[in-house]
Amino acid sequence: MIHNRIAVMRAERRLSRKDLAAAIGVNYQTIGYLERGEYNPSLELALKLSEFFGVSVHFLFSLRPLEPLSEQLARSEKE
């Protein structure tokens, strides 16, 4: 399973699934499938999403569960 931060990134930017889908050229249902982990993105789709959000593919997708961003922020503030 590929884990991702699509829902978090989309919510931060106050985008609907339809808005994000239109921006990258896919059906809005594809975004839902990706967010729920029911569909693994192609390399092209992963690159489009990471480019759209302005983050690396590694930040957006992982083979292991992703650490919540709030925990990453808290840890970086301690350092």
Give the domain CATH number at 14: 1.10.260.40
Domain assignment of residue 18, given as a range? 3-78
Q: What is the pLDDT of residues 7-61, one digit of tens each?
A: 999 999 999 999 999 999 999 999 999 999 999 999 999 999 999 999 999 999 9
Q: Stretch 63-73: mean pLDDT, rounded? A: 81
Domain count along the chain: 1
C-alpha torsion sign, points 10, 23, 45, 52: negative
pLDDT of 48: 98
pLDDT of 79: 72
pLDDT of 69: 74
